[in-house]
Amino acid sequence: MSRKYQIKLTGEFCAEAANGDLIKGADIEAVHGASIDTRTAKAGQVFFAISGPNFDGHQFMDESIAKDCVGLVVNNEFISRAVAASGEAPDRVFVVAVENTVKALGMIANAWIHVLGPKVVAVTGSVGKTTTKELLAACMKTRYVTLATVGNLNNHIGLPLTALSLKPEHEAVVFEMGMNHAGEIAHLCKIARPQIGVVTYVGPVHLEGLGSIAAIADAKSELISALPKNGVAVLNADNPHVIAMAQRAPCPVMTFGFDANATVRIVDAQIDERGLLTLSLQYKDEIIPVATFLVGLHNAANVAAAVTAAIAAGVPFDKACNAIGLVTPSSHRLAVIQANHFRIIDDCYNASPPSMAAALQVLAQNQGRKVAILGDMLELGAATDVAHLELGSLVAAKKIDVLIAVGKYSDRIVLGAKDSQGFEAEVYKVDDAIQAAKIAEVVVNKGDTVLVKGSRGVGLDIVVKALESLSGREEVSN
């Protein structure tokens, strides 16, 4: 039996990995990973009592034990309370005391990755990272038992939680890495130890925390700088900020894109009669057609990124291409909902200038009346006003029929649209998603296509639910 199958996530392992004190339960094993939230905690997990701005996990230790968690990792000052909480199950709960539970979470995750030794691939980028991660995971699964980041667990808390879900049978893991300040990805790389790093795109996202696109590129390039000499950097050949990262790579570089010199080249990309992306990819002398369940020409780059990274990981080109056709969009990410009488393009997970442009292009390609329900783009800093004015101009350029602008910057979106020559759309400006939903229920007609998109903080999923209830979901066409 391989040594990794003998390693267990026990109290003793956690204490050693985190340089903490084992208070009790050296041999008790957490068989189902870790949790920081008792609302979603499962039996067999270790509970990390994280102190945040709005909560303190130490207040929920009793509840975690009631949920049958088998371990508690707590800050030193809470030892007595942790022992008392574990007293309800003295023979099945370990307690580890540490200086800082957030730091301990990362240290234990790092050690767990090290002992299990999976192939580690990390994906980052201003846009496209979640879609690329999902596509890449599907490609990797054709050769390896693969774990991938679930949802948006892509920060200094979420990534370690994903890592602690690894089991000995996993041969590969695909991590998504997000960031909103310099140094964050470097920190994630210290935890994850990626061997392959993918950068999808660099554009004006998180400007509030970083100030410029050049600073964003520097922050994203931390992934490339962290790769080992025997690793592979996978870069977008069509984005100048990304391809420039090749100079920082301590390892071989593979590229993707329309560029004639790309390692994996997009030969052509089209939208079929259903609005879905089809494309052909070339690797060396072989060209393979790829059918997808994705909407939007911009997704061609995400497909190419995933296939390139899969090749870097040892997946045959043809198997990677075939796997792409099995992937459907994640919830709220350009997911097309075919209601009984109209079509909803649900892209309300997040928003930035590049992703807004891509989504409006998808909307513009549809037949019939086009309705855009657009919320604020957050974290743009000094570029906020201009970005929302430009968004309004883009709405006008795409000949959208109805605009419902939502949020604090809705007036800038409307102003940008109305100041554009030839703009004739029906316009509504509201403060929040609830008001937007009420208007949408009135103005959306049979045969319309409705785009719903905005930053997560605007909460436009309320609008999507209202529209689904209005017509009744007939099927989901992803």
Is residue 326 scored above 60 in pLDDT?
Answer: yes
Same domain, 127 and 229: yes
Domain boundary among 324, 343, 360: 324
- DSSP per position, 147-179: EE--TT--STTHHHHHHTT--TT--EEEEE---
The arithmetic mean of pLDDT across residues 238-258, rounded, is 98
Is residue 72 scored above 70 in pLDDT?
Answer: yes
What pLDDT does residue 64 have? 96
Is residue 473 scored above 70 in pLDDT?
Answer: no
What pLDDT does residue 476 have? 38
- DSSP per position, 356-415: HHHHHHHHHTSSS-EEEEEE---S-GGGHHHHHHHHHHHHHHTT-SEEEEESTTHHHHHH
What pLDDT does residue 338 have? 86
Please state whether the predicted TM-score (pTM) of the whole model is above 0.85. Answer: yes
Is residue 477 scored above 60 in pLDDT?
Answer: no
Question: 321 is written with which tokens?
Answer: 């291409």
Is residue 478 scored above 50 in pLDDT?
Answer: no
Going by C-alpha positions, the residue among 242, 235, 239, 189 that lies closest to residue 217 is: 242
Say if CB 63 and CB 47 are below 8 A apart: no
Q: Alpha-carbon distance 412 to 161, whole Å? A: 39
Q: Do the domain assignments include residue 109?
A: no
Give 29's Cβ-side CA count (13 Å radius).
7
The arithmetic mean of pLDDT across residues 161-168, rounded, is 97
Structural domains in the chain (count): 3
Say if CB 292 and CB 327 are below 8 A apart: yes
Q: pLDDT band at residue 475, thresholds of 50, 70 and 90?
A: very low
Expressed as residue numbers, the domain containing 35 is 3-99
Percent share of the chain, pLDDT over 70: 97
Domain boundary among 324, 358, 380: 324
331 vs 436 pLDDT, higher one: 436
Q: Do the domain assignments include residue 227?
A: yes
Same domain, 263 and 359: no
Is residue 182 scored above 70 in pLDDT?
Answer: yes
What pLDDT does residue 472 have? 56
Q: Domain holding 78: CATH number?
A: 3.40.1390.10
Say if CB 450 and CB 444 are below 8 A apart: yes
Q: At which residue do the structure tokens 């997009």 appear?
A: 266
Interior angle at CA 339, CA 402 and CA 437, nearest 5:
45
What pLDDT does residue 142 have? 98
Going by C-alpha positions, the residue among 24, 63, 8, 74 that lies closest to residue 41 is: 63
Same domain, 160 and 291: yes
Q: Alpha-carbon distance 316 to 139, whole Å? A: 9
DSSP state of 329: P
What pLDDT does residue 54 have? 85
Is residue 89 scored above 90 in pLDDT?
Answer: no
The arithmetic mean of pLDDT across residues 244-262, rounded, is 98
Going by C-alpha positions, the residue among 156, 136, 155, 158 that lies closest to residue 146 is: 136
Beta strands at 276-283 and 264-271: parallel, antiparallel or unpaired: antiparallel
Q: Do the domain assignments include residue 366?
A: yes
Sign of CA dihedral 23, 29, 33, 39: negative
Same domain, 364 and 443: yes
What pLDDT does residue 13 have? 97
Q: Do the domain assignments include residue 107?
A: no
Domain boundary among 279, 297, 324: 324
Read off the pLDDT of residues 403-429 as tens digits, 9 standing for 90 and up: 999 999 999 999 999 999 889 899 999
Same domain, 151 and 92: no
Please, what's the largest Cα pairwise distance for the chain? Answer: 74
Q: Alpha-carbon distance 451 to 159, whole Å? A: 31
Nearest-Å Rg of the Cα atoms of the chain is: 24
Q: Do the domain assignments include residue 146?
A: yes
Read off the pLDDT of residues 128-145 as tens digits, 9 standing for 90 and up: 999 999 999 999 999 999
Interior angle at CA 466, CA 463 and CA 471, nearest 5:
130
Same domain, 172 and 285: yes
Q: pLDDT band at residue 1, thresholds of 50, 70 and 90?
A: very low
What pLDDT does residue 170 have? 97
Give 469's Cβ-side CA count (13 Å radius).
11
The residues pairing with 266 across neighbouring beta strands, listed in sequence order, are 281
What pLDDT does residue 207 have? 78
The arithmetic mean of pLDDT across residues 44-58, rounded, is 93
Read off the pLDDT of residues 433-463 as tens digits, 9 standing for 90 and up: 999 999 999 999 999 999 999 999 999 999 9
**Phi/psi at 88 (nearest 5 deg)?**
-70, -20
What pLDDT does residue 256 have? 99
The arithmetic mean of pLDDT across residues 369-387, rounded, is 95
Q: Domain holding 191: CATH number?
A: 3.40.1190.10
**Phi/psi at 268 (nearest 5 deg)?**
-155, 160
Q: Do the domain assignments include residue 164?
A: yes
Question: 408 is written with which tokens?
Answer: 């604090």
What pLDDT does residue 179 have? 92
Say if CB 237 and CB 255 are below 8 A apart: yes
Same domain, 173 and 250: yes
Q: pLDDT band at residue 160, thresholds of 50, 70 and 90?
A: very high
